Structure 1
Amino acid sequence: MHDLRRQALLESRKTVSRKAASREASRSNSRVVSAQTSRQNSRQSSRAASRYPSDEEDEGNLSDETGTWSTSSLDDLAENPESDNADWPEELADCIQDILDRKRSSVQGREEALSSFCRLSKFHYVEEEIRNHIQDLLAAFSRSIKYESSVRESVLALKALEFLAVTAYDDTIYDAVESLLTRTIRDSTSGLIKVAAINCLGTCAYFGGTSEEAKMDQMEMLLDIVASDGQSIDASDDAAVVTVALQQWGFLATDIEDLEGESEEVVEIMIEQLASADSNVQIAAGENIALLYEKSYTPQEEEDESDEDEDNEDEEDEEDIPGSSGPKLIKRYTPYHDTYQLERILASLATVSGKRISKKDKKSLHTNFASILTTVENPRLGPMYSKAINQNTNRQYGSKRQVKVGSEGVMNIDRWWKWLRLASLRRVLQGGFMEHYFQGNRAVLDALPVMLRDARRTNADRGGHKKAARMRNSTKRMILEEDSL
């Protein structure tokens, strides 16, 4: 990817920091040695450069749309082809038995069992059914990941482990698998496995019982992967690896309260990735920049004195921001020393043109970077904020990023932390996201306590009478938490 940057539009006169120069010197020493391995990994994972492993297509086929997706694609979150499968608990019990009975299994048999577990865990909230098998499943998944009998088995085991972390609400998972996942990321010869392992590590670090310090340690490793263009884990110039490292860094960063000390260096590294020739890398880096600027503003507290000399970027009265609620947001620090130059780079990506860029990538870059630029200019404004004036209200339209919840509800995704968490949850759960949301998956609701505008749809309406009470309690909880967002 470093080589590809030479073709990028933003490469011309970028200043190289001493840290960046040092990283480049260390990379050049090992680039020749790892070039052949990198090419082999690249051929194996070339189709994955903009696609993630999934079992969506044939209960285990390793493909899915990239994690950078548009508002219009969110409608598929409500799709659940398993909604009429009344026998799924029995099927899941048989599946778990097959997974645990490794002595009498074959590679193909384990692949099919893992595929079935992923499908059932995706489209059903299986917390009750797996509660007594968590440690045994952890051990079984770990064996499939460790031995790498086949790429498909290992990737499916990593996906299954993600479902376990999101579903089980167990704070022992991260400690049980952290060393294995880190070793897999560094040592696996498969690009697909590396990508799946990075995603799995981020999911387990977030949902599997991790301290903020441990999250920061993993974020540092992910940042090394990004800064070295994958070289630090022998995946040189692998766009898929760098993209997922960026996305998992941003996902974990949403759960860190204060990133002031890290912000300057991280933004610098993200700016380097804006020069990538891969649009997914560029967008993921841009979203992290927007998150860092958003985090530089926090709610006003009683002891805060009003500052009449705020920067020009803060002159807009927050009361005029549609959808703004709660205390006023106050600037706490400057995320990056040269915001003006950063804005110029973002503006060029928001209007990028050229024959080398496909129409699809060009449209995606324009839409995403216009949104990212708006937040960098004014961190009070969230993703997809429209400054156009609504003639009916004579006010700006405000945040346009919303998600339909069934036929009645709407999620307003008006902050970057919400967007990045939703993106990560959607990557794991895909078409089963709404099932987990309505069934009261505690991990999902804790990660994304978004107000449902009208949550009248109940589990009883959908045949889920066993957990209708949990649904009502979860909806009540989301409504009560609206004021805290």
Structure 2
Amino acid sequence: MSDLRRRALGGGKTPSKRASLSKSGSKSTSKAGSKANSTAASRHGTDDEGAYDSDGSVWSFGSLGDELRNLEDVPQTSSWQEELGDRIVRITDKDMRKKLATGGLEEALLAYNRLLQSKFTSSELQGKTNNIIDALSKSIKAGKTDKESTLACQALVLTLITDVDCTTFGEFNTPLQRLITDHESLVVKTAAIHALGALAFFTDVSTDDIETIMDFFHEIVENDGHNIGAGDDGATVAAAIEEWGLLLTSLDDAEEVTDRSAEAFVDQLESTEIEVQVASGEVIALMTERAYREPSSEDEDSEDDHGIDDEDFHNRFVITPAEDTRPPIQKYTVYRNQPHLKQILTNLSKSSTKSVSKKNRRTQHATFANVLHTVNFPLHGPNYSRALDFEGREQGSRLEVKVGRKGIVKLNTWWKLIRWNALRRFLGGGILVHWQENPVIFESLPLIMDAAPTNHKKASGRVDRMLAPFD
């Protein structure tokens, strides 16, 4: 078993390939390892924290953020529309690109990304996307620096989100896979993985194409990144897991792709990287959720085995449900060795290893208590509470996300949580603007926003942190 999958309960430190790559001139990878553990702890941050990460990015860029902050400040123009137009010219005009120093093009891409995150710029991009896509293609295929390639991957996603018809899956599928496989920078590989996942999710592609990309991500996970030159790099492997999960939410029939991939995600629960563990746990919960459905009247006379014995189902509850409550119907098997899976999840939900920081240990305990609960009760979403309300009904999933200062949305299923996490990766704090104004985003996650109660408090700045389910 590789270093990445050494037991977290046994401690130990996973060696990083970032240090060895630093000698080849890839400075952008030098600090990414130090951010790996903090990433998972802020997976479900609120969206009133500002429009961007500190480096203006959607994804963790490591030391890239430090270098970008040292670039010359963006000149102020009379309006953001003029600023966007100026940055588009700098990115797309051939003569301008030649005149710009390396930092100038990077600055233009960074400003472009910030504006597309914080604003819905569909009308401003009208008639310009072909030139923008052509310019981004050049930066992705032959970027002069790691920063340029990384920012171009992000710009591709944001342009696609703004104008879903701006490009096709076939135009960038091969270039992005080549970037993932051949580029030396781990940061660029990670950005390209996220871009490829977004490309397959938002463009009009066939089920076969989606499953092909999922198999590509599965190979990265199964080989701990070694097959793409990112051996035992937590950020790269976690990115592949996250995008695999996003694409799973778009499939109508997930049985075959689940059958050939589940074991790799269970293996990654034994990673020493918290972000890999959490991503794997969430995907396992999602796969479990997709493998079951609510019973219907047509099932009453059926003698087919639904996977959970009625008596066993009722015995799992502390407060016995009504006698006519039927267990969910199992459509297919996710992972055959359920005792093994449940034991790993139980250990992770109670682990007290000192090699994991106190903050990450809280994240680990809460996440895997919820994943274990879903494995036992497949149709119970994240933060599910079996405690009864005043009307005698179970409170259900309690995962709520504060959206700006206006309200909250409830993420009561794992597929909603997976998509919300993905949209926050792409849009940062601008998710509220796009969710309200961009039909592409709202259709991908059609949630109802409730008014935030007056006593709605932020839990250490994050109202939607995973809580252990009530028994």
**Alignment TM class, shorter chain as reference:** 0.7 to 0.9
Highest RCO, 1 vs 2 (Cα 8 Å, sep ≥ 6): 2
- The partner residue of 2:443 within 446, 453, 458 is 446
Task: Provide the residue aligned with 1:14 in structure 2.
Answer: none
CA distance in 2, matches of 1:379, 1:66: 27
Give 2:425's aligned amino acid. R
| Alpha-carbon distance, 1:405 to partner | 3.3
CA distance in 2, matches of 1:393, 1:222: 45
Task: Provide the residue aligned with 2:417 in structure 1.
Answer: 419
Change (3 A) 1:298 1:38: farther
Single out whichever of 164-173 and 363-372 deviates more from structure 2. Answer: 164-173
Say if 2:52 is the partner of 1:47: no
Change (3 A) 1:221 1:414: same
SS of equivalent residue, structure 2 residue 423: helix
- The partner residue of 1:410 within 408, 411, 414 is 408
Say if 2:284 is the partner of 1:289: yes
Summarize deviations over 1:402-453 as a string: whole Å, max 9, x none.
Answer: 12234453311010000000000001101100011121x1221111011223
SS of equivalent residue, structure 1 residue 386: strand
Summarize deviations over 1:85-112 as a string: whole Å, max 9, x none.
Answer: 9811121111111111133332222111
- The partner residue of 1:116 within 108, 111, 118 is 111
SS of equivalent residue, structure 1 residue 382: coil
Query: Does the 8 Å CA contact 2:26/2:185 hold for their aligned counterparts?
Result: no
Task: Provide the residue aligned with 2:457 in structure 1.
Answer: none
Query: Does the 8 Å CA contact 1:171/1:210 hold for their aligned counterparts?
Result: no
- With structure 1 as the length reference, what TM-score do the two structures score? 0.77
Task: Provide the residue aligned with 1:89 in structure 2.
Answer: 81
Task: Provide the residue aligned with 1:437 in structure 2.
Answer: 435
Task: Provide the residue aligned with 1:66 in structure 2.
Answer: 39
Query: Does the 8 Å CA contact 2:288/2:375 hold for their aligned counterparts?
Result: yes
| Alpha-carbon distance, 1:387 to partner | 2.8
Summarize deviations over 1:153-197 as a string: whole Å, max 9, x none.
Answer: 111111101101111121733221111111100110111100100
Task: Provide the residue aligned with 2:272 in structure 1.
Answer: 277
1:300-449 matches, within 5 Å, as: 300=295, 303-306=298-301, 311-312=308-309, 314-315=313-314, 330-390=329-389, 392-439=390-437, 441-449=438-446
CA distance in 1, matches of 2:302, 2:78: 60
Query: Does the 8 Å CA contact 1:77/1:426 hold for their aligned counterparts?
Result: no
1:118-267 matches, within 5 Å, as: 118-170=113-165, 172-267=167-262
CA distance in 2, matches of 1:35, 1:88: 40
CA distance in 2, matches of 1:36, 1:94: 39
Query: Does the 8 Å CA contact 2:211/2:257 hold for their aligned counterparts?
Result: no
Query: Does the 8 Å CA contact 1:154/1:193 hold for their aligned counterparts?
Result: yes
Change (3 A) 1:69 1:36: closer
Change (3 A) 1:453 1:7: closer
Task: Provide the residue aligned with 2:2 in structure 1.
Answer: 2
Change (3 A) 1:39 1:376: farther
CA distance in 2, matches of 1:130, 1:215: 28
| Alpha-carbon distance, 1:356 to partner | 1.4
SS of equivalent residue, structure 1 residue 398: strand
Gaps of 5+ in 2: 12-17, 57-76, 453-471
| Alpha-carbon distance, 1:150 to partner | 0.9
SS of equivalent residue, structure 1 residue 9: helix
CA distance in 2, matches of 1:367, 1:426: 21
Gaps of 5+ in 1: 12-33, 53-63, 456-485
Give 1:335's aligned amino acid. V
CA distance in 2, matches of 1:288, 1:39: 35
1:10-21 matches, within 5 Å, as: none
Change (3 A) 1:399 1:40: farther
Give me the CA root mean square deviation.
3.4
CA distance in 1, matches of 2:272, 2:347: 14
| Alpha-carbon distance, 1:388 to partner | 3.7
Give 2:368's aligned amino acid. F
User: Which structure has more helix as a fraction of its residues?
Assistant: 1
CA distance in 2, matches of 1:162, 1:268: 30
Task: Provide the residue aligned with 1:467 in structure 2.
Answer: none
Give 2:344's aligned amino acid. I
Summarize deviations over 1:172-230 as a string: whole Å, max 9, x none.
Answer: 33221111111100110111100100011111111122222111100000000000000
Change (3 A) 1:265 1:285: same
Query: Does the 8 Å CA contact 1:50/1:240 hold for their aligned counterparts?
Result: no
CA distance in 1, matches of 2:144, 2:366: 42
**Would you say how many aligned residue pairs link Structure 1 and Structure 2?**
413
Query: Does the 8 Å CA contact 2:8/2:271 hold for their aligned counterparts?
Result: yes
Give 1:69's aligned amino acid. S
CA distance in 2, matches of 1:170, 1:321: 52
Give 1:336's aligned amino acid. Y
Task: Provide the residue aligned with 2:48 in structure 1.
Answer: 76
Give 2:131's aligned amino acid. D
CA distance in 1, matches of 2:270, 2:369: 17
SS of equivalent residue, structure 1 residue 268: helix
Change (3 A) 1:409 1:252: same
| Alpha-carbon distance, 1:360 to partner | 1.4
1:21-32 matches, within 5 Å, as: none
| Alpha-carbon distance, 1:302 to partner | 6.1
| Alpha-carbon distance, 1:300 to partner | 4.6
